[in-house]
Structures are given as structure tokens and as C-alpha cells.
């Protein structure tokens, strides 16, 4: 039986990813943005082990979430599912001066990884759109460029792969992987999304709990439980290190060795 923490898990793929291991007897702690969402998931997700609350748009809130999660941990696996999509207008998380897409999709998984007790498995959700992006290191928070929601989202998903691969190198005792769930019909994906919704959550659950040799690897990228090639530049170790250094400078949080 595994103990699993899933961010952004009150609806969509996060909720589905929580439901499956609960049904199989695993201990799952979910994350809700606010108290109303926590109450709703408590009623709908029978058997959930615990709920932590926090809107991960600010670094202060991310630190609080990490503290709450550590209080109910440790965990065997952490699924970094929380995220917002490509149809977002530009908004600034004014407390930190960061764009909300960057704060939620990139800063939150980085800070939680750095601040939470190290699990055995780490899973980061990316997107096929990352293949058309760059790391965006020269303008991570979109202060120099005219806003483009699709590009900002795609960059954040590129960055999530960089983070997964950087962790795989730095923490050899941890299975750290990234995946794309497919373009599925969630609130983020939209009603016309063509991929199989039922498959959208299964790879992250498989990576979190499976004893299959294919799931017990690190530094890989997956789609529907099969390995898939990510953007080649996500394998660039120098780029991975520069990205981590940039996030450490922005957040003031060091990624432990």
C-alpha cells in the first residue's frame, strides 16, 4: 500500500488520479485550492486519507502547502498535477510579481519538490505542447514579451520536464519522471479534446504505485504508460542546471542535493 499526495486534485485529472488508488486501497492525500473545494472533495471522494488547502499562486501559499503536506506525510509518491491552461489571460501574482501561469505551473512544483520531504517517486505533468516551446529562461515571468497564453503554457510544461529530469540526475534514489496525459476533455482541455479521457490519469497513477519494471525508472517521459521522446533540449543537463539556478534565485529556495 502506497501513500500518495496529489496536487490540484479536486476535479479533472487530479480527481481521477486520486480516485483510482483510493479504490485499490492506497492512502491518498489531496490538495484543494480553498475551503469550499476541500468540503466538496471530502463529500465526493470517499476514503480519502486527508486534504490540504492552499492556492499555489504565491510563494507564501506554496510554502504553507508544503508545511501542511509535510505534517501529514511522508509520502511514497507525489504527483504534481496542479496547473492552469493555455487559454489564460496574463495576470500577475502581485505579491511576488510573477505571472500566474509561471507561478502555478512551474514555481509551485519546484518549491514543493524542494520543501517537502523527499518521496520515493515524483511525477510531473507536462503536455505535448512542450515540444513547440523553449525554456524561456530569459523571460520566465513574461515581463519583457507581449503575452501569449499558449506559448506561456507550453513553456511551463517544457519547464516541468526540465525539472523532472534535473531531479532524476540529482536524486538518484528517487524515480522522477514526466508525462503527457493527452489532450482530454477536462475543464482545461475543453469539450472538443480528442484524446481518451479514461487514459488521461492512468499513467501518473501507474508511475506512482506500480511494481512493473517499466514504471520503476527515472528521467523518462511517458504517454499512456509508454515511453515517448520529449523535446530534445529537455535532456540538456546544462539547461537543466541553469533552469534550477534561475528558480532558486527567484524563490530563495535551494534544491537540496
| Per annotation, catalytic residue among 124, 157, 221, 223 | 157
Give the burial string for 214-237 (b: 16+ CB within 10 Å, else e): ebeebbbbbbbbeeeebbebbeee
86 is catalytic: no
Give the burial string for 49-84 (b: 16+ CB within 10 Å, else e): ebbbbbbbbbbebbbbbbebbbeebebbbbbbbbbb
| Per annotation, catalytic residue among 86, 124, 144, 153 | 153
157 is catalytic: yes
Helix, strand, or coil here: 129?
Answer: helix
Helix, strand, or coil here: 84?
Answer: coil
Backbone dihedral angles phi then psi of residue 50, each to the nearest 5 degrees: -170, 165
Residues 6+ apart with CB under 8 A from 255: 110, 113, 114, 166, 167, 170, 244, 247, 248
- Under 8 Å between Cβ of 120 and 74: no
Which neighbouring-strand residues pair with 5? 29, 78
- Under 8 Å between Cβ of 200 and 14: no
Tell me how far apart the alpha carbons of residues 179 and 206 are, in angstroms, rounded to a whole number.
11
208: its cell numbers: 506512482
Phi-psi region of 31 (alpha: psi -120 to 50; beta: other; left: phi over 0): beta
* Residue that has been written with the C-alpha cell 507561478 in this structure: 103
Q: Which residues are catalytic?
A: 153, 157
Amino acid at each position: 500500500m502506497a501513500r500518495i499526495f496529489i496536487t490540484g486534485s479536486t476535479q479533472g485529472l487530479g480527481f481521477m488520479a486520486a480516485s483510482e488508488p483510493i479504490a485499490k486501497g492506497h492512502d491518498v492525500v489531496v490538495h484543494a485550492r480553498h475551503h469550499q473545494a476541500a468540503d466538496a472533495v471530502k463529500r465526493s471522494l470517499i476514503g480519502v486519507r486527508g486534504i490540504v488547502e492552499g492556492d499555489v499562486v504565491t510563494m507564501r501559499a506554496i510554502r504553507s502547502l508544503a508545511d501542511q503536506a509535510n505534517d501529514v506525510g511522508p509520502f511514497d509518491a507525489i504527483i504534481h498535477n496542479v496547473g492552469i491552461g493555455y487559454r489564460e489571460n496574463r495576470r500577475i501574482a502581485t505579491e511576488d510579481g510573477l505571472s500566474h501561469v509561471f507561478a502555478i505551473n512551474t514555481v509551485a512544483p519546484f518549491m514543493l519538490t524542494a520543501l517537502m520531504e523527499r518521496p520515493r517517486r515524483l511525477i510531473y505533468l507536462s503536455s505535448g505542447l512542450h515540444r513547440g516551446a523553449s525554456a524561456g529562461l530569459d523571460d520566465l515571468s513574461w515581463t519583457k514579451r507581449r503575452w501569449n497564453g499558449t506559448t506561456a503554457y507550453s513553456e511551463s510544461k517544457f519547464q516541468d520536464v526540465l525539472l523532472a529530469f534535473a531531479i532524476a540526475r540529482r536524486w538518484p534514489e528517487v524515480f522522477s519522471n514526466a508525462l503527457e496525459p493527452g489532450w482530454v476533455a477536462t475543464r482545461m482541455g475543453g469539450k472538443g479534446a480528442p484524446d481518451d479521457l479514461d487514459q488521461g490519469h492512468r499513467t501518473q497513477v501507474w508511475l506512482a504505485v506500480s511494481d512493473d519494471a517499466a514504471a520503476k525508472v527515472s528521467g523518462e517521459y511517458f504517454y499512456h504508460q509508454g515511453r515517448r521522446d520529449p523535446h530534445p533540449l529537455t535532456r540538456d543537463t546544462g539547461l537543466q542546471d541553469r533552469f534550477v539556478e534561475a528558480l532558486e534565485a527567484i524563490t530563495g529556495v535551494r534544491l537540496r542535493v
